[in-house]
Amino acid sequence: MKNLWQKGKWWLLALPLLATALFFYFRQKKSQLPLYQVERKTLVESVYASATLLPQTEYKVFANADGTLLQKRASEGAPVRADEVLFLIDKTDPSLRLNTARQAYLLAKENYGKESPLLAEMRLALANAKIQLENDSINWLRFQNLWAQKATSQVEYDRSRTLYQNSQNNYALQKSRLAKLENDLKFNLENSQNQMQLSQKQLEDYAVRSFIEGVVLETYKEEGESVRRGEVLALLADPKRVYLRLEVDELDIERVKIGQPILVKLDVYKDTLFKAKVSKIYYRLNKQNQSFRVDAEFEGEVPNRFSGLTAEANILIQEKKDALVVPKTYLLGKDSLLVWDKESQSTQAKRIEKGIENFEWVEILSGIEEKQTLLKPQ
């Protein structure tokens, strides 16, 4: 040993110690290997489907008038109340029209009111015509009596009769004019009131409101941009009412029925497993992805904060008891497992036949036996 040290080959002296250390290191590592002993348990058969979380009701907010967006009060993700103003559009012209319509209404209201100067003048003319008619009526009666007594001339008699007839016609004319004026003023008042209300409604159209209580998903316009009547300004939804839209493979759709329970996993909610049930099946094949649409309603807790999330869903078809199962994470590829030999401290890949499966477990029909030990692939 002294000679080895003197010859500079001292590292040969450390080999036995290094070998011992490596032996204990690998022995410890093998004792910590991710091993699983095959067992039997109750397993539920399921159909896998990709899914998307969507609101049951989406509401598009439209512009009701042309103009320039003056104020944008809506922002993505913000809650909104029913009848809350979301956008304000330039309303200069409608304001002027409303003021004009309001002035016309006030004038029409004054003209048709109790203190109306137009009606007062016409009523005065009618009263004067009535007085004149009464006077000419008395005078005509007097001349009739005089004529009967041969106490007046033919000319005076005819003149009295003509004055009375003219007074009758004038009174009827003034009465007709008053009735026509009243009708015209009433119609003008109602028309101006309608015009004012229409102008008010048009002015309200420049304040775009929400018709639902919900949340803003998207907005499409910014302040200063021009907008046109009927253009979509924002997209709203009720986050409390959501559903799942599933895509079920055409090979599995025959096994899916209304009311079947569903287990749902969303990446955003990593530690939560949601429950749902099949509510509607669409029997038209989507040729692009060879799948059928299936809708599902949540039961219990609802993931209501986001829209458009992707999810993984397992539609539960049947329950199988005493099934030979292994964790899906232990699969090597699609149809193999690594069987661990404790004595030789080695593994052997074995092909297996799978049965039913769910999120975590897969049934093994053949290829391995109960209580065999498996190594998790790295």
Instruction: Give a three-class secondary structure readout of 197-262.
Output: HHHHHHHHCCEEECCCCEEEEEECCCCCCEECCCCEEEEEECCCCEEEEEEEECCCHHHCCCCCEE
Mean pLDDT, the chain, rounded, equals 83
Q: Is residue 149 helix, strand or coil? A: coil
Residue 212 pLDDT greater than 60, yes or no: yes
Q: How far apart are CA 24 and CA 237, in angstroms?
A: 62
> How far apart (Å, rounded) are the C-alpha atoms in residues 279 and 334?
32
Q: Edge-to-edge strands of the sheet including 226-227? A: 207-209, 85-89, 67-72, 226-227
pLDDT of residue 202: 60
Going by pLDDT thresholds of 50, 70 and 90, the confidence category of residue 63 is: confident
Residue 292 contacts residue 284 (beta carbons within 8 Å): yes
pLDDT, residue 201, reads: 64
User: Residue 84 burial (CB < 10 Å; 0-12/13-18/19+)?
Assistant: middle
What's the average model confidence in pLDDT over 322-349?
89
Structure tokens at 185: 């003023």
Q: What are 50's strand-pairing partners? A: 247, 312
CA distance 123 to 178: 7
- φ, ψ (nearest 5 deg) of residue 303: -80, 90
In the prediction, which pLDDT does 5 show? 44
The radius of gyration of the chain from alpha carbons, rounded to an integer in Å, stands at 48
Q: How far is 28 from 91, CA to CA, in rounded Å? A: 80
Separation of alpha carbons 260 and 100, rounded Å: 64
Q: At residue 354, does pLDDT exceed 80? A: yes
Q: What is the pLDDT of residue 4?
A: 44
Burial of 76 (0-12, 13-18, 19+ CB in 10 A): exposed
Integer CA distances (angstroms), 231 to 33, 64, 221, 252, in order? 62, 8, 10, 42
Q: What's the pLDDT band for 12 if we cut at 50, 70, 90?
A: very low
| The amino acid at 115 | E
Q: Average of pLDDT values for 209-218?
A: 86
The predicted model scores a pTM of 0.49
User: Per the structure block, which two tokens stand in for 134?
Assistant: 């009464």
Residue type, 159: R
With beta carbons less than 8 A apart as the criterion, state whether 101 and 195 touch: yes
For residue 258, the model assigns a pLDDT of: 95
**Confidence at residue 344, expressed as pLDDT on a 0 to 100 scale:** 86
pLDDT for position 357 = 79
- Which of 12-16, 167-171, 323-327 is least confident? 12-16
Task: Tally Cβ neighbours within 10 Å of residue 187.
Answer: 12
Please determine, for residue 169, whether its predicted confidence score (pLDDT) is greater than 90.
Answer: yes
CA 323/CA 363 separation, integer angstroms = 6
Specify whether the CB–CB gap between 240 and 302 falls below 8 A.
Answer: yes
Read off the pLDDT of residues 253-290 as tens digits, 9 standing for 90 and up.
999 999 999 999 988 888 889 999 999 999 999 998 89
pLDDT of residue 269: 85
Cα-to-chain-centroid distance, residue 255: 32
Residue 358, phi then psi, degrees to nearest 5: -140, -155
Mean pLDDT in residue range 142-146: 90
Q: What is the dihedral of CA 105, 111, 112, 113, to 10 degrees?
A: 100
Q: To the nearest whole percent, how much of the chain has pLDDT over 70?
A: 85
